[in-house]
Amino acid sequence: MLIVDNNADLAQALGMIVDMEGGLDYAGYALSGTEALARAGEVDVMVLDLGLGDLSGFEVLERLRAQSSAVKVIVHTGHALPQIEEEARRRGAAGFAVKDGDFRSLLQLIRSV
């Protein structure tokens, strides 16, 4: 599993939670869309923020699908609007989670995809 977020502190914290939880194959984190695309072949699951510095999360989703990537993407964003979730799913996201501090629900979602 790869965590993709341009906020290094959040990415590291989420990575520590995943590591402590155990049972998940945690490969680390990426701070940009470009890095996420380069590392997509290393993982089965990607937790992807929409607001990245170089590419949007939506662009990453589109490029992954164009490459026929098998990675399952969970969009993890601070935008809780239904239309954002619909757009993420339309572009191929396997799951959607709001950044609300509920890491237990996020971990359950990661395990379910």
Cβ atoms within 10 Å, residue 90: 10
Question: How many structural domains compose the chain?
Answer: 1
pLDDT reported for residue 101 = 82
Per-residue pLDDT of the chain (113 residues; tens, 9 = 90+): 999 999 999 999 999 999 888 888 899 999 999 999 999 999 999 999 999 989 999 999 999 999 988 999 999 999 889 999 999 999 999 999 999 888 899 999 999 99
Q: Which domain holds residue 83?
A: 2-112
- 90: Cβ contacts below 8 Å, ≥ 6 apart: none
pLDDT reported for residue 12 = 94
Q: What is the pTM of this model?
A: 0.94
Separation between Cα atoms, residue 65 and residue 63, nearest integer Å: 5
pLDDT reported for residue 53 = 87
Which amino acid is located at 7 in the chain? N
CATH number of the domain bearing residue 30: 3.40.50.2300
